[in-house]
Chains A and B, each alone.
Chain A
Amino acid sequence: MSEIKIQIKNLYKIFGKNPKSALEQVKDGVNKDELLEKHNHVLGLKDINLDIKEKSIQVVMGLSGSGKSTLIRHINRLIEPTDGSVIVDGEDVLKMSDESLRDFRRKKTAMVFQRFALLPHKTVLENTMFGLHIQKVDEKEANTRARRWIDRVGLSGYEEKYPQHLSGGMQQRVGLARALTNDGEILLMDEAFSALDPLIRKDMQDILLELQDELHKTVVFITHDLDEALKIGDRIAILKDGIMDQEGIPADILLSPKTQYVKDFVEDVNRARVIKAKHIMSELNGQDRDNAMVVDQDDFIDRFIDKVISDKPSCLIVKNKNNDEIGYLSTKRLSEILKR
C-alpha cells in the first residue's frame, strides 16, 4: 500500500583499525565476542536489512550496545558503513558526494538527539531556526516558520529564553521544533525521549503521535524502552548485539516472538495496553449481530475489556474510522490473548 521510503540493505559496520579484513571474518561467521577477542574489532552491525515505509513510525529497539544508535546514524550517513547500502527515495545515500549529502541532510532529514544537542549560546528561536540558517533561508521566512513550530510544540512565550533556562522536557521540545522546522520528510529520533522523566516522556510521546497524525513523516525512532516502542511504533525492529532479531508490527512481536531474547523482552508487557482490536481480529463471515459489541479498530484491549466482562457480548465487531465493519473478535480469542 505505502511506498518504501528508506531501504537498508546488507548493512555491516565494524569498528576498528582494519574493518575491511574484519568484514571477511564476520561474513565467514565469526561472532561478536570472537571478533573482539581475536581480531580486536568491534562488530557494530551485522547484515541489517530493513525496509521503512513512507509515513510510518519505525521503531528500532535494543539495549545499550545493540547498535541501534549506530544504525540510525547510517541513514543520514553520520557514520560510514563498512559494507551495504542505504537507499532513500531510490538514491544511495552512501554514494552521495559531500555536497549532495549536505543537501540531502538539509532538505530531506532532520534529527532529534538524546541529550538535545541544542546550541547553548542561542535562544530557543535561534536554535529552532538553525536548520534554516544553514540552508540560508531568508531571515523573515525562517522566523515565521520557526515561530509556527515553537507554538506547535507548546513553547510560545519562551522564544527568547536560552536552553539552559528550560527543563529537559522543554529543551527536547526545542529539539523537536528545530527538526520539524526543517520540514524534511524523514525524522530521525535517537532515543529522543530517553533522558526525560516518565511523565514528561509520556507527554512527548503524545505530542509526537499527535503531530504524526497530521504530518505523516517517515519517522525512525530509536529507544531502549519496550513500552515506548509499543506505544509509538507502527513497526518495531529489535536489535541485539548488532543483529536484527525480529521486525514486525507490535502485536506480532508480542504474540509471536521469534527468539528467546525477544521472548524475554516482551514477557512482562501488559498486552491489554498494547494490542489493538485490529491486531487480533479475524475476517468477518456472517457473525451473529445479536448481543454483539462494537469496538473501534484502534482501541486497545484494556479500553473495552471491562465492558466485555460486564456485558458478556457474543462477539466483538471491529469498525474503522468510517464506521465500516472490518472484522470480528471472539471472546474466546480475546481471553487466549490475555492469558498468554
Chain B
Amino acid sequence: MEDFLSEFPELSRETLRFIKKGFDASYRAFSREYGDTIEAVFDPVLYFLVWFEKLLQNSPWPIVLICFLAVIYFGSRKISVTIGSLFAFLLIGIFGMWEDTMSTVSIIGVCTMLSIGIGIPVGVLMAKSERAQRICTPILDVMQTMPSFVYLIPVVMLLGIGKIPGLLAVVIYAIPPIIRLTNLGIREVDKEVLEAADAFGANPRQKLFQVQLPLALPTIFAGINQTIMMALAMVVIASMIGVKGLGQPVLKAITNQYFAMGLFNGLAIVALAIIFDRVSQSFGHRIQQHRSGSRE
C-alpha cells in the first residue's frame, strides 16, 4: 500500500519500450513506404522555392533592393518605413548577410503564401461548420503548443533533411493564427448585414465573397501579420534541418560561441521582422480605413 502511494503505478519498462519501439517501427515503415510519394507531392513547392531563392540571390542586388523598396512603399504608403527599410537592407548587405537574407526572405515568402493558401480556406470552413470548428480547434492547439522539435522528428524521418521539411515545420508553426483569425473574422461579421445579404437573395457563395470575406479582411490581415512573425521566429529552428538563411550562421554562432556573428544575424532577423510587420500592418490598416471614417 505504501509502495502504491509513493511510486506512481507505471507500466513496466519492458512494456514501455515495446510500445515506443513498435510505434517508431511502424512509422518508419510508413515513411519508407510513402516517403517518396509524399516528397513528390511537394516537388512543385520545392521547385518554386528554389526558383524564388535563386531569383533573389542571382539578380543584381540594386534591382532586388529597388523591387523590395517599391513593394514596401506601395504596401505601407509611408516614406519613413521605406527609408528605414533602405538603411536596414544596406546595413545587412554591408555586413555580408545579403545572400542569407535573400534565402530567409524567400522561405518566409513561400511559407506565408502557403499558409495563406491553406489557412484561409480552412478558416472559412471552420466558420461555416461547427463540426469543423470542433475538430480543428484542438489540432490548432497542439500545433501551437507542441514544442517544434517534437514534430521536426517525424518530418525529418519522413522527408529527410532539406528545404521541404524545413518549410513544413515553419508552416505547421505559423499557420494557426491565420486559420484562427479567419474563423474569428467571419464569425464576427455583423448579423444584420448577413441578414441583409440573405434578404436580397444572396447565395452562400455570394455571401462569402461579397460580404463575409471583405468584412473579415482586417481580422484576416492581423492573422497574416502574425503568421509572418511566427514564420520568422522559426528560421533558426528550421536551419537545424538544413534550411539555408540567416538561421544557419546563428546556429553556427551558438555551437562555436561566436557572439558577434550571432548578434549580427540576429539583428538582421529583427530588421526583417520589423519591416514585414510595419508593411503588413499599415497595409491592413489602409484597407479598413473607410470603416473608421478617416479618409475624406
Binding site for B on A (CB under 8 A): 76, 78, 101-107, 109-111, 113-115, 117-121, 130-131, 133-135, 162, 164-165, 178, 182, 188
Contacts and interface: CB of A to CB of B under 8 A. Distances in A.
Interface string B184-217: 0000001011011111111100100011001101
B290 interface: yes
Nearest to B191: A117
A124 to B, nearest CB: 11
The SS class assigned to the B binding surface is helix
A102 B201 contact: yes
Contact of A117 (B190, B202, B214): B190
Contacts of A103: 201
B134 interface: no
Given A76-B199, A109-B199, A113-B196, A133 B290 contact: no
B44 interface: no
A121 B199 contact: no
Given A107-B201, A118-B193, A119-B210, 15 more contacts: A78-B195, A101-B201, A110-B200, A117-B190, A117-B193, A118-B196, A119-B211, A120-B215, A120-B291, A121-B217, A121-B288, A121-B290, A134-B200, A135-B201, A188-B199
Given A115-B192, A120-B215, A134 B201 contact: yes
Contacts of A120: 215, 290-291
Contacts, number: 76
Q: Among the interface residues A102, A107, A188, which one has the most CB atoms of the partner chain B within 10 A?
A: A102
B293 interface: yes
A165 B199 contact: no
B190 A165 contact: no
B256 interface: no
A158 to B, nearest CB: 13
Report, nearest first, the 10 A-B pairs whose CB atoms are least far apart. A106-B201, A105-B201, A117-B196, A162-B290, A111-B199, A164-B293, A117-B192, A102-B201, A131-B200, A121-B214
A121 B192 contact: no
B293 A165 contact: yes
Nearest to B217: A121
Q: Among the interface residues A121, A165, A178, which one has the most CB atoms of the partner chain B within 10 A?
A: A121
B80 interface: no
Contacts of B198: 78, 105
A178 B192 CA distance: 15
A110 B201 CA distance: 9
Interface of B: 190, 192-193, 195-203, 206, 210-211, 214-215, 217, 288, 290-293, 295-296
Contact of B199 (A78, A118, A164): A78
B241 to A, nearest CB: 42
A133 B210 contact: yes
A7 to B, nearest CB: 20
A162 B290 CA distance: 6
B192 A164 contact: no
A117 B199 CA distance: 11
B193 A102 contact: no
A105 B206 CA distance: 14
A128 to B, nearest CB: 11
B290 A113 contact: no
B195 A119 contact: no
A115 B192 CA distance: 8
A134 B206 contact: yes
7 contacts: A110-B200, A119-B211, A119-B215, A120-B215, A121-B291, A165-B290, A165-B293
A111 B197 CA distance: 10
B263 to A, nearest CB: 44
Contacts of B206: 134
Contacts of B293: 162, 164-165
A114 B191 CA distance: 12
B24 to A, nearest CB: 49
B283 to A, nearest CB: 15
Nearest to B210: A133
A249 B296 CA distance: 47
B196 A111 contact: yes
A123 to B, nearest CB: 8
A130 B206 CA distance: 11
Contacts of A119: 193, 210-211, 214-215
B129 to A, nearest CB: 18
A118 B293 CA distance: 14
Contacts of B214: 119, 121
Contact of A105 (B200, B210, B215, B296): B200
B213 to A, nearest CB: 10
A109 B198 CA distance: 11
Nearest to B292: A164
A133 B290 CA distance: 21
Contact of B290 (A78, A164, A182): A164
Contacts of A115: 192
A126 to B, nearest CB: 10
